[in-house]
Amino acid sequence: MAEKVAVDPQAFKKAVDDRTNARLKMWLEICAHCGLCADTCHFYLSNDRDPKLIPAIKGKKVLEAFKKKDKIDEAFLEELYWTVYGDCTMCRRCTMFCPFGIDIATITSTGRGLCVSQGKVPENLVKTIESYYEYGNQMEVSEEDWIDTLQWMEEELQEELPGATIPIDKKGANLLYTVNAREPKFYPMDISQAAMVFYLAGEDWTMSSKGWDDTNLAMFAGDLKAAGYVSQLVRDAAEELEVKRVAITE
């Protein structure tokens, strides 16, 4: 039996209505189809200037989706999926070079949101979103492992700089330092190096046992609900610890 991708036209229409806003409507209408954005896009340049990859084409595909609403079918969804996840990294370079400042990155992100409504999201991104919900970070780092890593890094740090610490959950600190979950998972030394800088700068800082991952791959995936959840984790940590500001890793 052939694999069947379920299309939910009503959910798609609802996503279109939800994501319609004044900027998007304006941009999709006024694009002059001038092609001046073409050679600002790395997809176009690195594929022998394949005209199918110019930024405006991505806008056009999302415009089609907006026009189709509940008239979408599997074939179209597939096309949209490959365009918004496969042909654009939402870097916004083209936005800088378009005479109107049309924000293709935001348009692509909207297109991804439409795919989310159909559960059509790249598998790896789905996994990271699940990890955010379950572990509060994208790399399935448990709280226990996180604290262990911080303590281990503190020991390493103290070998070089006696007296330096990695404070955890210090209330009222000036700065909450958040990291990419890759750091505890693969490059823990990054954390002790940052701690070194903070120590030498005399910064009043802390790390948090919860809400410490500052990446937001849910946003990258176009899943706004999950993206909101992820940002909220950091915000909650900052409020809980009553810090003045949140710093994010380089």
Partner 1 sequence: MNLVTLYELLRGPLLWLAFGVFFGGMVLRVILFYRLSKRKDGVIYRFFSWKWLWLSIFRWIVPLNETAKKNPIVTLVGFVFHICLIATPIFLLAHGVLWYESWEISWWSLSEQVADYMTLIVIGCGLFFAIRRMVLPHVRIVTTAADYLLLAVTLTPFVTGYLAYHQYFDYNTVLILHMFFGELMLVVIPFTKLSHFLMFFFSRAITGMEFGRRSAPSW
State the residues that interact with ligand SF4 by CB under 6 A: 31-37, 40-41, 43, 55-56, 58-59, 88-94, 98, 100, 102, 104-105, 108
Q: Of these partners, ligand SF4, partner 1, none, which one is at the site of residue 1 (CB under 5 to 8 Å by kind)?
A: none
Provide, rounded to whole angstroms, the least separation between the CB of residue 107 and partner 1. 12
Contact between 31 and partner 1 by CB under 8 A: the answer reads: yes
Token duo for residue 86: 């496969």
Contact between 21 and partner 1 by CB under 8 A: the answer reads: yes
Contact between 219 and partner 1 by CB under 8 A: the answer reads: no
- Please, which of residues 40-79 interact with partner 1 by CB under 8 A? 44, 49, 51-52, 54, 56-57, 60
Contact between 246 and partner 1 by CB under 8 A: the answer reads: no
Instruction: Return d(Cα 240, Cα 246) in angstroms, integer.
Output: 12
Which H, E and C letters describe the chain, residue by residue? CCCCCCCCHHHHHHHHHHHCCHHHHHHHHHCCCCCCCHHHCHHHHCCCCCHHHCHHHHHHHHHHHHHHHHHCCHHHHHHHHHHHHHCCCCCCHHHHHCCCCCCHHHHHHHHHHHHHCCCCCCHHHHHHHHHHHHHCCCCCCCHHHHHHHHHHHHHHHHHHCCCCCCCECCCCCCEEEEECCHHHHHCCHHHHHHHHHHHHHCCCEEECCCCCECCCHHHHHCCHHHHHHHHHHHHHHHHHHCCCEEEECC
Q: Of these partners, ligand SF4, partner 1, none, which one is at the site of residue 91 (CB under 5 to 8 Å by kind)?
A: ligand SF4
> Of the two residues 22 and 201, which places its CB atom closer to partner 1 in the complex?
22
Stretch that binds partner 1, among 91-99, 191-199, 209-217, 238-246 (CB under 8 A): 91-99
> Of the two residues 31 and 221, which places its CB atom closer to partner 1 in the complex?
31
Q: Of these partners, ligand SF4, partner 1, none, which one is at the site of residue 202 (CB under 5 to 8 Å by kind)?
A: none
Provide, rounded to whole angstroms, the least separation between the CB of residue 104 and ligand SF4. 4
Contact between 38 and partner 1 by CB under 8 A: the answer reads: yes
What does the buried/exposed string (b/e) look like for 97-110 if buried means 16 or more CB atoms within 10 Å of the residue's CB? ebeeebbbbbbbbb
Provide, rounded to whole angstroms, the least separation between the CB of residue 57 and ligand SF4. 9
Site residues (CB under 8 A) for partner 1?
20-23, 25-27, 29-36, 38, 44, 49, 51-52, 54, 56-57, 60, 95-103
